[in-house]
Amino acid sequence: MTRIKLCGLSRPRDIETANDLMPDYIGFVFAPKSRRYVTPDRAAELKALLNPRIKAVGVFVDEEPDMVAAIDAIDIIQLHGKEDETYIARLRRLTSKPIIKAFKAPNFEGVNDSSADMILLDSGAGTGKTFDWNIIKDIKRPYFLAGGLDPANVAEAIRRLRPHGVDVSGGIETDGFKDKEKAARFVAAVRKEDNYD
């Protein structure tokens, strides 16, 4: 089954939506430049409302490892900047939480050799656009697919690529906020496609 991650949640109503739809993961963005940024305290408040069966992922961009490791409101760490193998090794000395490393198209160099527990392939940092999926063909390990996914194209992505998981943020928003109806359509599209297996 394709794992589902709804990213960039920032309000109690977003958590209510997640609890209704039961994705595998939700994401809190800790990058201050992002319009979806939440503080660690805000994330803790939101995590307290989250169904414990849903894992919370913290998204970071070139943050100090000590700060990343200190956030208790997350179950998984996602690195979305220029973090290298030295950074990952340093982070592992501070925390046992699983690590997702994001790679941005078209440069997926080092993906197959990354020591991260999971990888994510993206078109960029919240661009809302897909990338040329043909460049994925040489990737040998399971991955999350991100970048421009929405309720209209996620079924095709799963059919063509069979990713380990799909990650959506802007594709389930209206006017910059999470839209419950769009999120429901996205989750339904993924689950319907999985049932065709």
Candidates 14, 122, 150, 167; catalytic one = 122
Instruction: Give the H/E segment covering residue 61.
Output: none
Q: Which residue's structure tokens are 């389930």?
A: 172
Q: Give CA–CA dist 56/46, Å, rounded.
A: 10
Is 62 an active-site residue? no
Give the CA radius of gyration of the chain. 16
Q: Give CA–CA dist 65/94, Å, rounded.
A: 8
Is 122 an active-site residue? yes
What does the block give as tokens for 168? 């959506």
Going 179 to 129 to 135 to 107, the CA torsion angle's sign is negative
Candidates 7, 14, 150, 167; catalytic one = 7
Q: Give CA–CA dist 58/79, Å, rounded.
A: 8
Of 85, 78, 84, the C-alpha closest to 144 is 78
> Is 151 exposed, middle or buried, given 0-12, 13-18 or 19+ CB atoms closer than 10 A?
buried
Q: Which residue's structure tokens are 């925390």?
A: 95
Point out the residues that are catalytic: 7, 122
